[in-house]
């Protein structure tokens, strides 16, 4: 049975409709890549799953429970409930708590009553993945660099005892070398029979690391990734070669 | 009449708002432009509100009462006044009214803190065509006089304000309809006189002749403080000014003041502040840590019903005074108290001692005048009130100068003026201790003076 | 020593009121100008409780505890009511800060008049909670009422701050202070937490109300002064900073006590305003206002 | 008015047929480029007749509304009505200036009434003590207000919005305490000063003429306040401040283009404060005195309720809000405390259910309507046309949607036809007779817009050709798209074809 | 003489050293690129050069005079303007009003023709009465550029003008940058992650890493230097990430 089943999901903000009748099903143990250009609805799709859009319509079934449906009221009102059912989101932009220490930030990811007790061991586990955070545990998160913040943000999502991890644009605004490392780390994490969706603009970053890649274009899902990426942004290697051309083709 | 005014206002506001609302955008249809016809039709009835029309024989005579009900100040006193007026009105109406006409009260809310609020309240009443105005204090009397003066109907006010009375005497032609109680400055001179009399009577031997004054921040209290200081100077060394301690309204912690008082150790302490609840708080804290042997005088505030209720046992032994209070010795006073307490379900402890009596008296003054004059003839009524003093529960109401004279400071004859009462809390109730001919009991030194 | 007691009393009362304002601001971004209404609500509830208790002849410790609990409960309920009107419906609308500010203003405008209509303009006293006697400490006397108020206030403040620092719910509230979106993402419901915050700060205000009613009584407008003082303290302390607020309460309480004792009572407002201006000149975000920097 | 032909979905505008013989002369306000009441001449595209069109109804409504406000009290000639509308005018003037501070300058200052109070007390005190006549009082008030504005604007740069708001709130309290305790200003009537030189001599005061004059003076004050608002908000200062509104992004932008928004804010604040000071002096001269209540929190709350109910940041909102609130509180005095409750409820309702008071309602309704349309349209466009979904609501031209939908369908079809066979066919013979599908594809390519259209550039005839892209702008040379050089024209043609095919595929 | 020079810039933010002894020169009508991994301090350097960040060590000279103490706005008046990474435009204005605000920002006000020229120059495709909020990224960037060019600046600092744009949109920016330098003699200092754009327009590229300049040279060669490749392209081991420094 699919862990997540989207049927006819439309969503948007205010007068704007960003997603159009999206159908998607994610299987247990699957790592799914979601690629597409800016503004074509990747973030909105992930936000819709946790109810962070302005309004949405359609059915989202997570582990047999309906978490979507028709909603027009405020953004983020149902999010905490959905998150507590076992979905962890590392949002675009670092939604970390700048005044708390790194440890407190990570702890806050284990918010539910059950995970709260095991937060120490979970924290160790996350620090194994993101080793650079270990010496920074007592530091205030607001003073971290962009890469470290992103690690805290993703690490916080990993603290939860989730069945479905959603990671939004791990590479955004990061230098190629850092983003590559981050994505590689993400893809090595053992998710068991849970699932993970990584939204990413940079297709080569995901190549070969995820089980399946879907494209996103103008608010619709495309099986054909090339169609979604009219212009595939160059990966690091391609950039170096592409310098001699007028534009990257 | 009221309905006409409401609809007049509503129509104009609706029109204006529709029009200005249309300014907000451009694509609205222009049909709203047809609206201006409405207000001029609605305007017609309000012109009928000329005062002369109110006096059709057989119809009730209307007294206007501006009573503060919503603002942050004075509501308790104003409510007292309202009650007193209701009592008088019902008594008069029960006795067949005035010349067969009943008396009616036209009550409106008034914002006594802003000139425009006072103007609005008074204009509401003059617009209704009342035959007289009875008002407890307003904070800014000139604003009220500005409306009431030209209107001409008798305006009986509880403003103890020397400057308002100066304005009246400066232009008697314009403000000849303004009848008031004695100004606040008498609190000062009366207090010093009281101290001297008390000392002479032998009931109290002051430990020293110093007088400390705790001064509140309103002009009212500052005037009283100044009058007290002047009176102390005029006493020729019998009394000596101690320290003047300034406080602000809203004082909750009196300990700094108490510490200063203890350090000064004056023979008499005057708390020149008018808010009953804060005086109650003072009483509580003073009673807990008193200055031994000092006589404490609180200004008019304890007349408010809440004082005794809040201060409770701590209030015992404090002295206070008022220039327009209710006595408890004469038959009229007792009858009034009994009637008032029966009607409003209060007792001696929880009855206001100033404004119920004053407003009760004022309605009676008016009824007395209307018995022989035409209520619509304001000049005649005013002349009658000025020329014919009557005996009320606050004392002898003689408005010869528009101001009732005060016994015993201004005149010596208790039958020729209203009385400056001094009370002491004895056995949990306010007991008149001065002047002598009205006293229920003698001054009893409180616990800290024994 | 008298001055010290004065200062302590003022500081603890100020602290209780200001911390409610500061706390609400920090966690849900709402400047609660209905704090005065919440304050009077606590007072009136305690007053009603006292009325009922006197008919049943309740006395002594039971009465005292009952009064405090009733006051805190009443204010907490009032806090929830304010939340239901000014927080829940507006919470995810744009311009929430301005909107909620105006909504709370309207509530305080309405609240005062409602008290006036139902309870009349008279001040209402509460029975003494800590007795009327005096205690001698270090050579100077202090009323039991004041002493009890200081002790209870300090204990309660300490408990709340400790709870904020160490518990899961505290972490959740602090997380929401920093980043409401992030909090939602980790499963903290802004709405429930917000209401909880309002209830807790309401309860603290109610405590202040009951304790202050010992000397200050309850009246429809008795909330205005605590509100302005609370605003000034939380301003000087740096909105949203709890240690800063406590420090500011101590500083201003001491300043007020010293001014009233050695200068004139009437100079107190000027001195307090001057100190706040000075603080803001040197620290534009108040004594502890670091939080604002990291929020956004 | 002629019969109004409805063309498309153009919004309805009132228009009048004009004499076709005469040249239409646009009347302008003196010294500006604005036409009177925004009347302009235009052709009706349907009847092809000339018309006089009211392009913006706002000025007309302002005119009617203000005229009504002027005439209404005079027509009614009721003493109470004069007083009510007089005080409405003064409060409205204060609120308009406050709107300038909060809306235009974006400073959350609550010291408005404090400034008014300082102007009023200063002018009243001088008038009482030295017999200063009222015109001089206004000037004194102006200076006091400007001084006050300067002092208050000092901390604005340093302090954060909310801190500033609370500090200015404290300032009112400070002023109140100061006046209360000052023996000179605290005066005779519990903080109120009375006996100021009045605008209308007191012997005229009770007459009808005096009342009318007094009211007209208050009305003139409102007009001046509105004029100042218009002048500042619509002028350069207003523009600069709107460019650097309130959030940090806007401020970053405006400092990038060199706007000194701090100075502009201070200026607006000073202007508004000076006006407020003058209004204070006017108030003192109008009422004959002033009271402590100007510094109180209660009045400030009521004022705030006024601008909230009307709609924050708009002059018309300030005026209407004032009319409603002052009307309720000063006219229905017999309702007692309930009328304050009513004001509170109105403020609460406007904050809960409207976006920006009464004047936000229209835009709000419009937005609801638009959102419904946009959702519908977005549903259409997502299936057929090529839009980013975000764009959909901004497209009002239906023809554009139809056009794009057609384009999209066409491209989908053409894309399906592009096969290796077709490409091979073109490679073999770029010019000449082609199969039907290729011909259609080529036709589509030929129709493309000139900007960025690929073209062949001949470096050296018969040996060296390159592919370029046209700029689309006359005088701007084409740019070279890549380094490749083609030896023959046919190969260059085919390269262009391949590029276009590639673009078609990726579109 | 170079138009803009800075020497030995050091900058500390929140207890971290962001820039360490950075010196650079930009000549008249020269296009200089600035590259480097995220967190290298590129934007911070812009903040220093543009005067938004004044608490730094070292000196900034523009057009022969030291502008060390001048604020951003004062530098704008001298002809040193910058853009931002995010395509920010005033939210409450229309396109025309935005340009008008730029024209009227300070005296002397350029003529309206100048404004039209600027809009035309960047090929702004927007109605003058269109709300800026409805513009797309590219048009926003162009509007920002046009607003900057109204003032006839001497140097423009562009912070990632191509981020968030597609290939053909980048071409338009490319064209504008080139014309600025070649036809109007305006110098350009350019931060860009899209190396292909840098390669096309810049005559010289500086590579910044960890707050210091590690390489400088023409774009054809500079990216092939081992130090640059190591900092920029090589797939890292995770432990090395901790060196990254925020440039926000």
Does residue B146 lie within any of the structural domains? Answer: yes
Q: Note whether C260 contacts B79, CB cutoff 8 Å.
A: no
**Which chains are within 8 Å of B by 3+ CB pairs?**
C, D
Tell the burial category of C112 from Cβ atoms under 10 Å away from its Cβ (0-12, 13-18, 19+). buried
Give the separation between CA E121 and CA E178, rounded to whole angstroms.
12
If you average pLDDT over residues E160-181, what whole number do you get? 79
Same domain for B250 and B160: no
d(CA C40, CA C78): 9
How close A134 comes to chain D (CA, Å)?
Answer: 34
Q: Give pTM, 2 decimals.
A: 0.83
Task: Establish if A174 touches chain E: CB-CB under 8 angstroms.
Answer: yes
Same domain as B131, residue B234: no
Same domain, B31 and B132: yes
Query: What percentage of chain D carries pLDDT values higher than 90?
Result: 30
Distance of alpha carbon E176 from alpha carbon C225, whole angstroms: 62
Q: What percent of chain C has pLDDT over 90?
A: 18
* Residue D142: predicted pLDDT: 95
D contacts of C25 (beta carbons < 8 Å): 162
Query: Is the CB of D80 less than 8 angstroms away from the CB of B141?
Result: no
Q: Model confidence at E236, in pLDDT bands (50, 70, 90)?
A: very low
Instruction: Say whether D406 sits in a helix, a strand or coil.
Output: helix
Over residues E54-60, the mean pLDDT reads 88
CATH class of E1-79+153-248: alpha beta
Clarify whether residues A48 and A156 are in a common domain. no
Confidence of residue C5 (pLDDT cuts 50, 70, 90): confident
pLDDT of residue D392: 52
Are B108 and D334 within 8 A, CB to CB?
yes
Q: Indicate the SS3 state at residue E159.
A: strand
What's the pLDDT score for residue B59? 85
> Taking CB atoms and an 8 Å limit, are A230 and D507 in contact across chains?
yes
* Mean confidence (pLDDT) of chain B: 82
Is residue B83 situated within a structural domain? yes
Mean local confidence (pLDDT), D254-274: 90
The widest CA-to-CA distance across chain E, in whole angstroms, is: 57
- B313 and B375 in a single domain? The answer is no
Cβ of A234 under 8 Å from any chain D Cβ? Answer: no
Q: How far is A228 from chain E (nearest CA, A)?
A: 13
Most E CBs within 10 Å, among A142, A177, A180, to test the E interface = A177
pLDDT, position A177: 66
- What is the average pLDDT across B109-128? 90
- Closest CB from C121, C219, C265 relative to B247: C265
Cα distances (Å, whole numbers) of residue B335 to B323, B340, B424:
20, 8, 21
Closest CA to B161 of D192, D182, D294: D192
Q: Torsions phi, psi of E188, nearest 5?
A: -135, 130
- Is A142 in contact with A98 (CB distance < 8 Å)? yes
How much is the average pLDDT of C102-124? 88
Tokens of E62: 């523009």
Inspect the interface and report whether the beta carbons of B72 and D64 lie closer than 8 Å: no
Judged against a pLDDT cut of 60, whether residue C102 lies above it is answered with yes
- Residue B3 domain flag: no
A143 and A116 belong to one structural domain: yes
Half-sphere exposure of E61 (CA within 13 A, CB side): 14
Whole-number Cα distances in Å, B342 to B338, B355, B392, D26: 6, 17, 19, 79
What whole-number distance in Å separates Cα of residue B330 and Cα of residue A75?
Answer: 75
Contact partners, residue B371, CB within 8 Å, separation at least 6: B98, B99
pLDDT for residue B67: 92
- Residue C219 in contact with residue C123, Cβ under 8 Å? yes
pLDDT in tens, B194-232: 999 898 888 888 888 899 999 888 888 888 999 999 999
Same domain, A43 and A119: no
Q: How many CA atoms lie within 13 A of A205 on its CB side?
A: 32
Chain D interface disruption, residue of E50, E53, E70, E73, most D CBs within 10 A: E73
Picking from D495, D445, D426, the residue whose alpha carbon sits closest to that of residue D466 is D495
Residues in chain A: 249
pLDDT in tens, C15-63: 888 888 888 888 888 888 898 999 999 999 999 999 898 888 877 788 8
Tell me how far CA of residue A44 lies from CA of A36, A53, A216, B145, E125, in angstroms: 12, 7, 11, 69, 28
- Give me the pLDDT at residue B156, please: 92
* pLDDT score for D5: 45
Q: Which domains does chain C have, with CATH numbers?
A: 2-295 (1.10.3470)
Same domain? B261 vs B167: no
Looking at residue B167, its pLDDT comes to 87
Residues of C in contact with B306 (CB under 8 A): 122-124
Are the C-beta atoms of D470 and D495 separated by less than 8 Å? no
- Report the C-alpha gap between D329 and D338 in whole angstroms: 10
**For position C121, what pLDDT does the model report?**
84
Shared-domain flag, residues B25 and B120: yes
**Residue finishing a domain among A125, A141, A161:** A161
pLDDT at D141 over 90: yes
Q: Is the pLDDT of residue D246 over 70?
A: no
Asked whether the beta carbons of B393 and B432 are under 8 A apart, the reply is no
The reported pLDDT for the residue numbered E246 is 30
Question: Residue A15 has what pLDDT?
Answer: 57
Physical contact, C and A (3 or more Cβ pairs within 8 A): yes
Q: Same domain, yes or no, for B274 and B259?
A: yes
Indicate which of A128, A129, A142, A243 best probes the interface with E, i.e. most E CBs within 10 Å of its own CB: A243
What one-character DSSP code corresponds to residue B107?
E
D389 to chain A: nearest residue by CA?
Answer: A18
* DSSP letters for B304-343: STHHHHHHGGGGTT-EEEESS---SSSHHHHHHHHHHHHH
Cα distances (Å, whole numbers) of residue C190 to A14, A44, C98, C257: 21, 21, 18, 40
Contacts of D107 (CB under 8 A, 6+ apart): D101, D153, D156, D164, D265, D269
Burial bucket for residue C246 (CB in 10 Å: 0-12, 13-18, 19+): buried
| Residue pairs spanning C and D at CB distance below 8 A | 102
Dump pLDDT digits (tens) for D472-504. 777 777 877 777 889 998 899 999 998 888 888
Task: Give the pLDDT band (50/70/90) at residue B437.
Answer: confident
Provide the pLDDT for residue D229: 95
Chain C nearest C-alpha distance from A114 (Å): 12
Same domain, B173 and B126: yes
- Cα(E44)–Cα(E53) distance, rounded to whole angstroms? 8
* Beta bridge partner(s), residue B103: B61
**Chains linked to E by 3 or more Cβ pairs within 8 Å:** A, D
CA of C117, closest CA in chain B: separation in Å? 9
Q: Is residue B248's pLDDT more than 90?
A: no
Report whether B69 contacts B136 (CB < 8 A): no
Question: Sorting pLDDT into bands at 50, 70 and 90, what band is B318?
Answer: very high
Is B207 within a domain?
yes
Alpha-carbon distance C220 to C120, whole Å? 8
Assess D365–A contact: CB distance below 8 Å, yes or no. Answer: no
D425 touches chain E (CB under 8 A): no
Phi-psi region of C187 (alpha: psi -120 to 50; beta: other; left: phi over 0): left
Residue to mutate among D162, D311, D342, with most C CBs inside 10 A, is: D162
**Contact residues on chain E for A173, CB-CB shorter than 8 A:** 38
Q: Does E246 touch chain A (CB under 8 A)?
A: yes
Domain boundaries, chain D: 1-56, 80-295, 297-396, 400-506
What does DSSP assign to residue D158?
A: T
> What pLDDT is recorded for position B46?
39
* Contact by Cβ (8 Å): C79, C246: no
- Strand B421-426 versus strand B429-434 pairing type: antiparallel
Indicate contact of D with E: 3+ CB pairs under 8 A: yes
Task: Give the domain range for residue A150.
Answer: 94-161
The first and second tokens of residue C250, run together, are 């101590």
- Contact in structure between B117 and B326 (CB atoms under 8 Å): no
For residue B363, the model assigns a pLDDT of 93
Distance from CA of C92 to the nearest CA of A (A): 6
Nearest CB to A132 within list E199, E234, E239: E239
| A81, A170: one domain | yes
Q: Are residues A150 and A169 in the same domain?
A: no
Q: Do D62 and B23 touch (CB under 8 A)?
A: yes
**A154: which 2 tokens?**
């993703």
Q: Do A234 and A186 have their domain in common?
A: yes
pLDDT of D379:
62
For residues B91 and B113, membership in a common domain is answered with yes
Residue B359: predicted pLDDT: 93
State whether A208 and A105 are in the same domain. Answer: no
Spell out which residues of chain A touch residue E198, defining contact as CB-CB under 8 Å: 243
Shortest Cα distance, chain D CAs vs residue A45, angstroms: 14
Q: Which chain B residues touch C if contact means CB-CB below 8 Å?
A: 69-70, 72, 75-76, 79, 217, 245-248, 250-253, 255-257, 259-260, 276-277, 280-281, 284-285, 288-289, 304-306, 309-310, 312
Among D493, D440, D444, residue whose Cα is nearest residue D465:
D493
Q: Of the candidates A76, A109, A113, which has its C-beta nearest C181's C-beta?
A: A76
Minimal Cα distance from C25: which residue of D?
Answer: D162
Report chain B residues whose CB lies below 8 A from the CB of C219: 277
Quote the domain boundaries for residue B89: 8-183+330-407
Task: Give the whole-angstrom CA distance, residue B381 versus residue B391.
Answer: 18
Chains B vs A: touching, with 3+ CB pairs under 8 Å? no
Q: Do D370 and A245 touch (CB under 8 A)?
A: no
Contact C105, C82 (CB under 8 A): no
8 Å CB contact of D257 and E148:
yes
Q: Is E62 on the interface with A (CB under 8 A)?
A: no
User: Which chains share 3+ C-beta pairs under 8 angstroms with C?
Assistant: A, B, D
In whole angstroms, how far apart are CA E110 and each of B189, D147, D254, E118, E125? 77, 34, 17, 11, 22
Cα–Cα distance for residue pair D439/D434, rounded to 1 Å? 6
Range with top average pLDDT, D35-44, D390-399, E204-213: E204-213
Shared domain for A169 and A249, answered yes or no, is: yes
Report which secondary-structure segment, H or E, holds C148.
helix C144-166
CATH of the domain at B26: 3.40.50.2300
Distances (CA, A) of C33 to B236, B328, C39, C160, D82: 54, 47, 11, 22, 35
- Tally of structural domains, chain B: 2
Q: Of the candidates A130, A161, A192, which is a domain's last residue?
A: A161
The total number of structural domains in chain A stands at: 2
Q: Are the C-beta atoms of B11 and D349 separated by less than 8 Å?
A: no
Chain B environment of D369 (Cβ under 8 Å): none
C120-141 average pLDDT score: 77
Does residue D256 have a pLDDT over 80?
A: yes
Q: What is the pLDDT of residues D69-84, one digit of tens each?
A: 999 999 988 888 899 9
For B34-63, the pLDDT digits (tens) are 333 333 333 333 333 333 334 445 789 999
Tens digit of each residue's pLDDT, chain A (249 residues):
788 988 888 887 765 667 878 888 898 888 888 887 666 778 888 888 888 887 788 888 988 888 877 766 666 778 888 888 888 888 877 678 877 888 888 888 887 777 788 888 888 888 887 777 888 888 888 777 767 788 888 888 888 878 888 988 877 656 666 677 778 778 877 777 888 998 887 677 777 778 888 887 767 777 656 544 443 333 333 333 333 333 322
- E113-142 residues touching D, CB cutoff 8 A: 123, 134, 136
More confident residue, A231 or E117: E117
- pLDDT confidence bin for B24, thresholds 50/70/90: very low
ipTM of this predicted structure: 0.84
What integer best gives the mean pLDDT of chain D? 84
Lowest model confidence (mean pLDDT) among A56-65, A130-139, D217-226, E153-162: A130-139
Q: How far is CA C142 from CA C132, D65, E65, E173, E220, in A?
A: 10, 65, 69, 77, 84
CA-based nearest residue in chain D for residue A56: D375
Number of other residues whose CB lies within 10 A of the CB of residue B133: 26
Contact A15 D375 (CB under 8 A): yes
Which residues of chain A have a CB within 8 Å of the CB of E14?
A: 142-143
What pLDDT is attached to residue C55? 87
Q: Does residue E11 surpass a pLDDT of 50?
A: yes
Residues B252 and B359 both lie in one domain = no
User: Averaged over D149-165, what is the pLDDT?
Assistant: 84
d(CA D286, CA B245): 37
Same domain, A170 and A247: yes
Provide the pLDDT for residue B153: 92
pLDDT for residue E131 is more than 60: yes
Task: Out of B76, B289, B304, name the one closest to residue C141 (CB).
Answer: B289
Count of CB atoms within 10 A of residue A4's CB?
23
Structural domain spans, chain E: 1-79+153-248, 88-151
CA-nearest residue of chain A to E166? A231
């Amino acid at each position: 049975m699919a862990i997540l089943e989207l049927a006819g999901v439309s969503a948007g903000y205010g007068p704007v409709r960003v997603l159009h009748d999206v159908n998607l099903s994610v299987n247990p143990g699957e790592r799914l890549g979601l690629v597409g250009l800016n503004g074509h609805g990747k973030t909105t799709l992930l936000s819709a799953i946790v109810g962070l859009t302005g309004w949405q319509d359609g059915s989202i079934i997570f582990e047999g429970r309906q978490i979507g449906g028709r909603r027009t009221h405020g953004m983020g009102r149902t999010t905490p409930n959905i998150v507590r059912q076992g979905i962890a989101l590392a949002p675009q932009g670092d939604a970390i708590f700048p005044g708390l220490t790194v440890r407190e930030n990570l702890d806050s990811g284990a918010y539910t009553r059950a995970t709260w007790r095991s937060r120490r061991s979970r924290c160790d586990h996350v620090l194994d993945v993101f080793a650079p955070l270990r010496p920074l545990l007592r530091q205030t998160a607001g003073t971290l660099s962009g890469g470290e913040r992103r690690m805290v943000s993703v690490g916080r999502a990993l603290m939860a005892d989730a069945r479905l991890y959603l990671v939004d644009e791990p590479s955004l605004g990061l230098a190629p070398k850092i983003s590559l490392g981050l994505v590689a780390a993400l893809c090595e994490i053992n998710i068991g029979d849970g699932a993970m969706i990584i939204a990413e603009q940079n297709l080569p970053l995901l190549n070969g690391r995820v089980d399946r890649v879907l494209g996103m274009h103008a608010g619709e899902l495309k099986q054909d990734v090339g169609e979604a990426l009219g212009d595939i942004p160059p990966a690091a290697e391609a950039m170096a070669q592409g310098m001699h051309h007028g534009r990257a083709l | 009449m009221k309905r006409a005014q409401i609809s007049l206002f509503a129509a104009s506001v609706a029109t204006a708002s529709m029009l200005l609302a249309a300014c907000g955008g451009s694509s609205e249809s222009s049909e709203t432009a047809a609206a201006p016809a409405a207000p001029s039709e609605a305007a017609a009835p309000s012109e009928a509100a000329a005062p002369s029309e109110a006096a059709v024989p057989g119809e009730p005579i209307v007294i206007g009462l501006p009573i503060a009900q919503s603002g942050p100040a004075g509501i308790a006193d104003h409510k007292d006044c309202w009650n007193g007026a209701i009592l008088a009105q019902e008594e008069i109406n029960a006795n067949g009214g005035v010349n067969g006409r009943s008396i009616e009260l036209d009550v409106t809310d008034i914002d006594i803190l802003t000139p425009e609020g006072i103007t609005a309240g008074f204009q509401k009443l003059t617009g209704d065509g009342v035959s007289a105005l009875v008002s407890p204090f307003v904070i800014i009397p000139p604003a009220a006089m500005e409306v009431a003066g030209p209107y001409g109907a008798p305006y009986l006010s509880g403003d103890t304000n020397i400057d308002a009375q100066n304005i009246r005497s400066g232009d008697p032609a314009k403000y000849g309809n303004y009848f008031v109680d004695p100004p606040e400055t008498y609190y000062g001179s009366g207090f010093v006189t009281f101290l001297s009399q008390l000392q002479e009577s032998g009931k109290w031997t002051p430990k020293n002749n110093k007088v400390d004054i705790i001064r509140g921040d309103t002009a009212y209290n500052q005037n009283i403080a100044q009058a007290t200081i002047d009176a102390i100077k005029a006493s020729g060394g019998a009394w000596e000014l101690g320290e003047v301690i300034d406080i602000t309204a809203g004082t909750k912690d009196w300990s700094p003041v108490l510490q200063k008082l203890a350090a000064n150790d004056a023979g008499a302490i005057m708390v020149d502040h008018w808010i009953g609840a804060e005086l109650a708080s003072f009483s509580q804290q003073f009673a807990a840590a008193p200055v031994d042997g000092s006589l404490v005088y609180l200004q008019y505030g304890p007349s408010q019903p809440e004082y005794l209720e809040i201060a409770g046992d701590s209030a015992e032994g404090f002295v206070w005074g008022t220039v327009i209070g209710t006595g408890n010795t004469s038959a009229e006073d007792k009858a009034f108290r009994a009637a008032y307490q029966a009607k409003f379900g209060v007792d001696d402890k929880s009855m206001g001692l100033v404004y119920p009596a004053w407003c009760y008296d004022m309605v009676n003054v008016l009824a007395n005048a209307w018995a022989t004059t035409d209520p619509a003839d304001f000049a005649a009524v005013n002349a009658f009130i000025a020329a014919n003093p009557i005996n009320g529960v606050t004392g002898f109401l003689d408005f010869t100068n528009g101001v009732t004279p005060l016994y015993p400071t201004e005149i010596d004859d208790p039958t020729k003026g209203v009385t400056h009462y001094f009370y002491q809390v004895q056995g949990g109730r306010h007991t008149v201790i001065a002047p002598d001919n009205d006293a229920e009991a003698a001054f009893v030194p409180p616990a800290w003076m024994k | 020593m008298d001055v010290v007691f004065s200062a302590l009393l003022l500081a603890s009362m100020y602290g209780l009121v200001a911390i409610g304002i500061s706390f609400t601001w920090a966690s849900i971004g709402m400047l609660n100008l209905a704090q005065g209404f919440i304050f009077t609500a606590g007072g009136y509830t305690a007053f009603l409780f006292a009325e009922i208790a006197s008919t049943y002849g309740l006395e002594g410790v039971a009465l005292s505890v009952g009064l405090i609990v009733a006051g805190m409960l009443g204010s907490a309920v009032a806090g929830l009511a304010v939340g239901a009107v000014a927080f829940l419906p507006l919470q995810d609308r744009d311009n929430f800060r301005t909107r909620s500010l105006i909504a709370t203003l309207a509530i305080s405008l309405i609240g005062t008049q409602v008290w006036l209509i139902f309870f009349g303009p008279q001040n209402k006293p509460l029975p003494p909670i800590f007795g009327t006697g005096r205690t001698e400490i270090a050579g100077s006397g202090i009323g039991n009422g004041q002493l009890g108020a200081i002790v209870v206030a300090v204990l309660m403040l300490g408990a709340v701050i400790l709870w904020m620092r160490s518990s899961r719910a505290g972490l959740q509230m602090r997380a929401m202070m920093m980043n409401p979106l992030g909090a939602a993402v980790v499963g903290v419901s802004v709405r429930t937490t917000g209401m909880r915050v309002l209830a807790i700060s309401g309860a603290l205000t109610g405590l202040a109300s009951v304790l202050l009613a010992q000397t200050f009584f309850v009246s429809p407008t008795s909330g205005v002064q605590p509100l302005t003082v609370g605003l000034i303290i939380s301003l000087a302390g740096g909105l949203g900073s709890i240690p800063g607020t406590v420090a500011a309460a101590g500083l201003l309480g001491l300043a007020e006590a010293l001014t009233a004792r050695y200068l004139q009572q009437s100079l107190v407002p000027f001195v307090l305003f001057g100190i706040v201006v000075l603080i803001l000149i040197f620290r534009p975000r108040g004594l502890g206002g670091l939080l604002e920097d990291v929020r956004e | 008015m002629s019969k109004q032909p409805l063309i498309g979905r153009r919004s309805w505008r009132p228009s009048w047929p004009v004499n076709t013989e005469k040249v239409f002369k646009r009347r302008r306000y003196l010294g500006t480029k604005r036409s009177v009441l925004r009347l302009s001449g235009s052709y009706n595209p349907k009847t092809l007749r000339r018309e006089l069109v009211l392009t913006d109804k706002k000025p007309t409504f302002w005119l009617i509304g203000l005229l009504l406000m002027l005439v209404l009290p005079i027509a009614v000639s009721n003493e109470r009505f004069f007083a009510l509308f007089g005080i409405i005018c003064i409060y409205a003037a204060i609120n308009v200036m406050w709107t300038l501070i909060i809306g235009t300058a974006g400073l959350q200052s609550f010291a408005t009434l404090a400034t008014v109070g300082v102007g009023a007390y200063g002018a009243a005190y001088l008038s009482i003590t030295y017999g200063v006549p009222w015109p001089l009082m206004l000037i004194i008030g102006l200076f006091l207000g400007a001084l006050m504005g300067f002092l208050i604007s000092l901390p604005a740069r340093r302090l954060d919005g909310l801190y500033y708001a609370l500090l200015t709130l404290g300032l009112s309290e400070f002023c109140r305490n100061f006046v209360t305790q000052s023996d000179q200003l605290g005066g005779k009537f519990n903080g109120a000063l009375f006996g100021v030189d009045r605008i209308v001599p007191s012997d005229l005061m009770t007459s009808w003429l005096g009342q009318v004059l007094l009211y007209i003076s208050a009305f003139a004050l409102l007009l001046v306040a509105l004029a100042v608002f218009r002048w500042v908000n619509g002028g350069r200062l207003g523009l600069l401040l709107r460019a650097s509104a309130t959030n940090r992004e806007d401020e970053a932008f405006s400092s990038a283009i060199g706007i000194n928004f701090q100075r502009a804010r201070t200026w607006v604040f000073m202007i508004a404060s000076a006006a407020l000071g003058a209004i204070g002096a006017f108030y003192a001269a109008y009422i004959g005195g002033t009271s402590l209540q100007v510094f109180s929190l209660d009045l400030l709350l009521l004022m705030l309720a006024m601008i909230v109910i009307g709609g924050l940041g708009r002059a018309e909102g300030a005026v209407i809000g004032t009319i409603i609130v002052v009307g309720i509180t000063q006219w229905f005095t017999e309702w007692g405390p309930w009328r304050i409750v009513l004001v509170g409820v109105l403020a609460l309702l406007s904050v809960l259910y409207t976006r920006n008071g009464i004047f936000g309602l229209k835009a709000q309704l419009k937005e609801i309507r638009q959102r419904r349309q946009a959702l519908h349209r977005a549903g259409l466009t997502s299936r057929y046309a090529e839009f980013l979904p975000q764009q959909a609501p901004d497209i009002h031209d239906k023809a554009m949607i139809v056009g794009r939908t057609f384009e999209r369908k066409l491209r989908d079809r053409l894309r399906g036809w592009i096969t290796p066979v077709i490409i091979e066919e073109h490679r073999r013979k770029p010019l000449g007779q082609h199969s039907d599908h290729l011909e259609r594809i080529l036709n589509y390519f030929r129709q493309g817009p000139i900007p960025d259209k690929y073209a062949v550039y001949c470096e050296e005839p018969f040996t060296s050709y390159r592919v370029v892209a046209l700029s689309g702008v006359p005088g701007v040379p084409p740019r070279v798209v890549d380094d490749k050089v083609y030896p023959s024209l046919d190969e260059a043609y085919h390269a262009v074809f391949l590029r276009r095919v590639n673009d078609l595929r990726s579109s | 003489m170079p138009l803009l020079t800075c020497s030995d810039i050091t900058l500390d933010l929140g207890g971290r050293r962001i820039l360490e002894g950075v010196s650079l020169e930009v000549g008249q009508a020269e296009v200089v690129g600035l590259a480097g991994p995220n967190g290298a301090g590129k934007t911070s350097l812009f903040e220093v050069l543009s005067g938004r960040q004044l608490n730094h060590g070292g000196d900034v000279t523009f057009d022969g005079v030291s502008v060390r103490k001048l604020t951003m706005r004062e530098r704008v008046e001298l002809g040193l303007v910058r853009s931002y990474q995010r395509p920010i435009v005033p939210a409450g204005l229309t396109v025309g009003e935005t340009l008008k605000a730029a024209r009227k920002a300070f005296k002397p006000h350029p003529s309206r023709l100048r404004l039209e020229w600027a809009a035309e120059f960047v090929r702004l495709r927007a109605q003058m009465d269109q709300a800026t909020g409805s513009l797309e990224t590219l048009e926003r960037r162009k509007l920002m550029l046009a607003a900057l060019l109204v003032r006839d600046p001497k140097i423009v600092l562009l912070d990632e003008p191509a981020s968030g744009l597609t290939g053909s949109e980048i071409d338009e920016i490319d064209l504008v940058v080139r014309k600025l330098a070649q036809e109007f003699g305006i110098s350009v200092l350019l931060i860009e992650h899209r190396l292909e754009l840098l390669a096309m327009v810049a005559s010289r590229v500086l590579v910044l890493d960890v707050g210091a300049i590690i390489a400088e040279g023409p774009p054809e060669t500079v990216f092939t230097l081992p130090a640059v490749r190591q900092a920029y392209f090589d797939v890292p081991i995770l432990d090395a990430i901790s060196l990254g420094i925020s440039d926000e």
